[in-house]
Structure 1
Amino acid sequence: MKATPEIDRKAYELAREFLLNIPGVTEIIIEKYQNLPSFRPKPSTKNELYRDLLESAQNANMKTKVVGEAIGGVDKLALISNDFDPEYILKSYASKWDVLDQIVQKLNPRGKIRRTQRSIWPRYCQTILSAAEFIDRFDSADEFFEWVDCFDRDDRSRACLPMLLDHEIEGFGFALSCNFLKELGYVNFPKPDVHLRDIFTALALCDDGIDDYKLFKAIIRVARNAKVTPYALDKIFWLIGSGNFYDDPSIGLIGRRQEDFVEFARINMARL
């Protein structure tokens, strides 16, 4: 089965239908996840931008548990960064090891701190440094957003932005770059994560083994054919893949449902 506009639309419609068959899930709940939270303020300073960037950076693989949970949340890094001041970071720390020493001394992380080059803490501390260097290039948060807007306005160059962030900020990666931009309110930057990859591959909405860039483009294509924002499409398939209704305790964490959804979708798409 080759992806067509009709198949793309049907996949999205079936995803919504599948979610609505889960006890407690309603149209209102689905739409809530598909829309950007109105209560989330846009960062107004470079410090706030830097803080959000570091939060996105610890959302990869095991970093949330090893980094965020070990120190009681990313906000605790304010104690070693003069309240997330990128200029302070660059003036105060010459290397990732200096950053790590201060984290150990002031924040006393739980668990073992491994200091090999490829261990999570040293890599995250390098991200702290390179992210500070990147954010410090902008005179203000407004200038940063103007720069992002230049990419977001042009379909041809949009995907270049997460690629650029991937290269500028060590340890960030294409998918985390998309997540960072998405959480800042840019609905055209879906995160090509494992949940969407598994579902898209299983339903032949993308080729098997493609990289994050091509998966990103496939998500945007399906969203365009379904006439929804990439953010809205991202959330629908993410809810199926993760089973995490984090804003609705009455539903809660229901477990991954992607295998059930793929079977459901294949049956209903077979006649297309």
Structure 2
Amino acid sequence: MSQSWAEVRDELHRRRDILVHRSYDTSFQMEPSERERIQLDLERWKSPPRCTDIPNLMKQFCVSAYSYAPIRNNLLSPLAEGLPTRQNIALALSRVFDDQQEFLDDAFWSPDLLGDLAAEIQERYKFNQSSRQFRPRILAVLLTGSRKLEEALRDGLDGFYEMVGHAKTPSAMWSLVNNFSKGIDYVGPALVCDFFKEIGFVQYVKVDHHFAAQFPELIKWKGGCRLSPRQSFILSQEIADAVGMTPFHLDAILYLWGRYGDRS
């Protein structure tokens, strides 16, 4: 690395200050939910609280699992009337499947009932489960993700949080997200990281393309910065510790800077 941790910290705070300023500039084009996110997560250093019920946990799983950009931007965002959130994901899914009203009832947002609903939808539409088209892909996540979460929640919400929280070291955390993603169609460790960080586990970062894009400029390593997802995840913990912020906030600065920081 060709600069000190103090320089990295100063650069992160510079980006944060610019993002906060732009979030209040109504002439600057920005998604309303991300404007609010900047003001909460970056200006006030807030972080997501623990979910208090299973329906909200399930909704966040869907928001994270469907954060794959082509699905989120081209299908779900128009149907949700904005970027998908816990508040609007049920509406978006009801519209994906032709006004399926059960999605709008919180009573259906348990792993077993959501899985049953997904099975009923599959029986009706008979989607090709190997298709990568949007609707079959969304349904495949519901079918397999519901099974995974039914297993993970067998000891209730407290047991689930205890299980995730048991992984303390970066290596153990990375092993956990890899194991958790197994068996869930189209959901890899990066999307599981996003799920965990958005339900209160602030040590997690979403190791996707925005990390690959932002790390070389931020770290300025001689010879470049080609890292595997695991290496990026572990490095994120080191950076966050060195600059005095949580990995969650490091992730937020890098992600939001990638979306809004380079615009004039």
| TM-score using structure 1 length | 0.70
Residue 86 of structure 1 is matched in structure 2 by 111
Output the CA distance in 1 between the equivalents of 2:230 and 2:145.
Answer: 21
Quickly say closer, same or farther: Cα 1:185–1:221, change in 2 above 3 A. Answer: same
1:98 to 123, 127, 142: 123
Output the CA distance in 1 between the equivalents of 2:9 and 2:254.
Answer: 8
2:14 is equivalent to residue 17 of structure 1:
yes
2:53 is equivalent to residue 36 of structure 1:
no
Residue 142 of structure 1 is matched in structure 2 by 158
Output the CA distance in 2 between the equivalents of 1:205 and 1:168.
Answer: 36
For residue 227 of structure 2, what is the amino acid of its counterpart?
A: I
Output the CA distance in 2 between the equivalents of 1:191 and 1:146.
Answer: 21
Quickly say closer, same or farther: Cα 1:134–1:165, change in 2 above 3 A. Answer: same
Instruction: Please state whether the residue corresponding to 1:157 is helix, strand or coil.
Output: helix
Contact 1:12/1:233 (<8 A) preserved: no
For residue 225 of structure 1, what is the amino acid of its counterpart?
A: A
| 1:64 CA drift (Å) | 1.3
Instruction: Please state whether the residue corresponding to 1:159 is helix, strand or coil.
Output: helix
2:73 is equivalent to residue 65 of structure 1:
yes
Output the CA distance in 2 between the equivalents of 1:119 and 1:60.
Answer: 13
Quickly say closer, same or farther: Cα 1:150–1:172, change in 2 above 3 A. Answer: same
Count residues in correspondence. 228
Residue 138 of structure 2 is matched in structure 1 by 124
| 1:236-259 superposed Cα distances (whole Å, 9 cap, x missing partner) | 22232111xxxxxxxxxxxx419x
Instruction: Please state whether the residue corresponding to 1:123 is helix, strand or coil.
Output: helix
| 1:141-194 superposed Cα distances (whole Å, 9 cap, x missing partner) | 11111111111x334412212212222322122221111111111110011232
Residue 236 of structure 2 is matched in structure 1 by 219
Cα RMSD after superposing both structures:
3.4
More helix by share: 2
Residue 195 of structure 1 is matched in structure 2 by 210
Contact 2:170/2:233 (<8 A) preserved: no
Quickly say closer, same or farther: Cα 1:80–1:71, change in 2 above 3 A. Answer: farther
1:257 to 252, 259, 262: 262
Output the CA distance in 2 between the equivalents of 1:224 and 1:33.
Answer: 18
Contact 1:195/1:238 (<8 A) preserved: yes
| 1:17-71 superposed Cα distances (whole Å, 9 cap, x missing partner) | 2443579369xx978424234xx65323333221210111111121113442354
For residue 83 of structure 1, what is the amino acid of its counterpart?
A: F
Contact 1:96/1:126 (<8 A) preserved: no
Identity %: 18
Quickly say closer, same or farther: Cα 1:180–1:257, change in 2 above 3 A. Answer: same
| 1:130 CA drift (Å) | 1.0
Output the CA distance in 2 between the equivalents of 1:205 and 1:96.
Answer: 50
Contact 2:236/2:247 (<8 A) preserved: yes
Can you give the 5+ residue segments of structure 2 that lack an aligned partner in the other structure? 24-36, 81-87, 95-100
